[in-house]
Amino acid sequence: MTKNIKKAITTSGWSPDSWRAHPALQQPIYNDTAEVGSVESQLQALPALVSMAEIEQLKVKLAAACNGEAFLLQGGDCAETFADFSTSSIQDLFKVLMQMAVVLTYAGRVPVIKVGRIAGQFAKPRSTDHEVRDGISLPSFRGDIINGIEFSAAARQADPQRMLQAYHQSMATVNLLRSFTLDGLADLHQVNAWNLDFVRANPACERYKQLADQICDALAFMEVCGVSSETTPALRQTEVFTSHEALLLNYEQSLLQQVNSRANSEAVTDAYYAMSGHMLWVGERTRQLDGAHIEFLRGVQNPLGIKISSAIKPAELSALIHRLNPNNIAGRVTLISRMGADNTALYLPALAQRVADEGHKVVWSCDPMHGNTIKTANGMKTRSFDSIMREIEQFFAVLPVYGQYPGGLHLEMTGAHVTECVGGAYHISETDLASCYKTQCDPRLNAQQVLELSFRVAELIRGDTART
Residue (of 78, 295, 66, 101) closest to 195 by Cα position: 101
| pLDDT, position 1 | 32
Q: What is the total count of domains within the chain?
A: 1
Residue (of 177, 247, 231) closest to 19 by Cα position: 247
Which uninterrupted H or E stretch holds 57? helix 52-66
Distance CA 168, CA 180 (A): 19
- Specify the amino acid at residue 311: A
Distance CA 240, CA 114 (A): 5
Q: What is the CATH number of the domain that holds 259?
A: 3.20.20.70
Which phi and psi (to 5°) does residue 357 adopt? -60, -35
Domain-embedded: residue 96? yes
| Cβ atoms 351, 317 nearer than 8 A | yes
| pLDDT, position 233 | 79
Domain-embedded: residue 281? yes
Say what angle helices 87-108 and 161-182 make with each other, to 10 degrees.
50
Cα–Cα–Cα angle for 175, 451, 247, nearest 5°?
50
Domain-embedded: residue 157? no
Domain-embedded: residue 123? yes
Instruction: Return all residues near 127 (Cβ < 8 A) that are at least 6 apart.
Output: none
Distance CA 448, CA 140 (A): 32
Range of the domain at 73: 3-127+239-462
Based on its alpha-carbon atoms, the radius of gyration of the chain, rounded to whole angstroms, reads 22
Say what angle helices 205-224 and 188-201 make with each other, to 10 degrees.
160
Which uninterrupted H or E stretch holds 263? strand 261-263
Q: Hey, how many other C-beta atoms are within 10 angstroms of the C-beta on 374?
A: 13
Residue (of 123, 247, 116) closest to 173 by Cα position: 116
Helix %, strand %, coil % of the chain (to 5): 45, 15, 40
- Specify the amino acid at residue 333: V
Domain-embedded: residue 229? no
pLDDT tens for the chain, 468 residues long, are 334 444 566 678 999 999 999 999 999 999 999 999 999 999 999 999 999 999 999 999 999 999 999 999 999 999 999 999 999 999 999 999 999 999 999 999 999 999 999 999 999 999 999 999 999 999 999 999 999 999 999 999 999 999 999 999 999 999 999 999 987 888 888 999 999 999 999 998 999 999 999 999 998 999 899 888 888 777 778 999 999 999 999 999 999 999 875 544 444 556 999 999 999 999 999 999 999 999 999 999 999 999 999 999 999 999 999 999 999 999 999 999 999 999 999 999 999 999 999 999 999 999 999 999 999 988 899 999 999 999 999 999 999 999 999 999 999 999 998 999 999 999 999 999 999 999 888 999 999 999 999 999 999 988 754 333
Distance CA 80, CA 91 (A): 14
Distance CA 227, CA 145 (A): 45
Domain-embedded: residue 143? no
Distance CA 460, CA 391 (A): 12
What DSSP string describes 311-329?
A: T--HHHHHHHHHHH-TT--
Partners of 186 in the β-ladder: none
| pLDDT, position 291 | 98
Q: Hey, how many other C-beta atoms are within 10 angstroms of the C-beta on 369?
A: 25
- 359: burial class by Cβ within 10 Å (0-12, 13-18, 19+)? exposed
| pLDDT, position 4 | 42
- Specify the amino acid at residue 44: Q
Q: Hey, how many other C-beta atoms are within 10 angstroms of the C-beta on 300?
A: 26
| pLDDT, position 3 | 42
Domain-embedded: residue 216? no
What DSSP string describes 423-446?
A: BTTTTB-GGGGGGG---SSS--B-
The C-alpha torsion from 263 through 264 and 267 to 272, rounded to 10°, is: -20
Domain-embedded: residue 219? no
How far apart, in Å, are the Cα atoms of 457 and each of 105, 190, 408, 468?
A: 11, 22, 11, 13
Distance CA 367, CA 74 (A): 9
Instruction: Return all residues near 173 (Cβ < 8 A) that are at least 6 apart.
Output: 85, 90, 118, 119, 242
| pLDDT, position 378 | 87
Instruction: Return all residues near 374 (Cβ < 8 A) that are at least 6 apart.
Output: 381, 382, 383, 384
Distance linking the first and last C-alpha atoms of the chain:
48
- Specify the amino acid at residue 90: I
| pLDDT, position 5 | 40
